[in-house]
Amino acid sequence: MKISKKITSLLSIGILSLPWTQSFANEATSIDKIASPVSVEQLTEQLQSAGVESIYNRTRTVISDSYIDNYNVEDNNTVMVHNNGNPLPTDMFEKKQGNELFAVLITDEYGVQTPTYYFSNSKVLMDDTLEEIVEDLSSQSNENKGARVVGSNYVSRNYKWDFYRKLATGSTIQQGSLATRVTFERIHSNANVDYKKSSVWDITARSEVKCRSSERINNTFVRLDAGSGSQKLLDFAPETSSQSLFTASLDSLFSPTSWTIEAGGYTTKELVSSLSNRYGRWEFKARPGFQTSWVTKPGVRVANSTGSLYLKYSQTLDLNYSDHGTGVVGITVPDR
pLDDT one-digit tens code per residue, 276-300 = 999 999 999 999 988 999 999 999 9
pLDDT digits (tens, 9 = 90+) for 193-224: 999 999 999 999 999 999 988 679 999 999 99
If you average pLDDT over residues 185-190, what whole number do you get? 94
Which of 67-71, 123-127, 257-261 is predicted least confidently? 123-127
One-letter amino acid for residue 154 of the chain = Y
Q: Looking at residue 237, what is its pLDDT? A: 97
Q: Looking at residue 52, what is its pLDDT? A: 36
pLDDT digits (tens, 9 = 90+) for 137-158: 555 555 545 444 444 688 889 9
Q: Looking at residue 253, what is its pLDDT? A: 92
Q: Which residues of 95-128 are buried (b: 16+ CB within 10 A; e: fewer)?
A: ebeebbbbbbbbbbbeeebbbbbbbbbbebbbbe
pLDDT digits (tens, 9 = 90+) for 251-268: 999 999 999 999 989 999
Which of 28-32, 109-113, 214-218, 224-228 is predicted least confidently? 28-32
Rounded mean pLDDT of the chain?
Answer: 78
Which of 67-71, 204-208, 310-314 is predicted least confidently? 67-71
pLDDT above 70 for 5: no
Instruction: Provide the greatest CA pair distance for the chain.
Output: 62
**What 8-state DSSP symbol labels residue 306?**
S
Pair 76, 29: CB distance under 8 Å = no
Instruction: Name residues whose C-beta falls within 8 Å of residue 96's C-beta, 6 or more positions apart in sequence.
Output: 327
Ranges assigned E (strand) in 140-297: 154-166, 172-193, 196-211, 217-226, 231-237, 245-250, 257-262, 266-270, 279-286, 293-296
Q: Looking at residue 136, what is its pLDDT? A: 61
If you average pLDDT over residues 117-127, what whole number do you get? 79
Alpha-carbon Rg of the chain, whole angstroms?
Answer: 20
If you average pLDDT over residues 179-184, what whole number do you get? 94
Pick the closest to residue 184 from 224, 144, 157 (CA basis): 157
The percent of residues above 90 in pLDDT, for the chain, comes to 49
For residues 333 and 317, what is the distance between their CA atoms, to the nearest angstrom? 26
pLDDT above 60 for 315: yes
> pTM for the complete prediction?
0.83
Pair 200, 221: CB distance under 8 Å = no
pLDDT above 60 for 192: yes
For residues 192 and 32, what is the distance between their CA atoms, to the nearest angstrom? 58
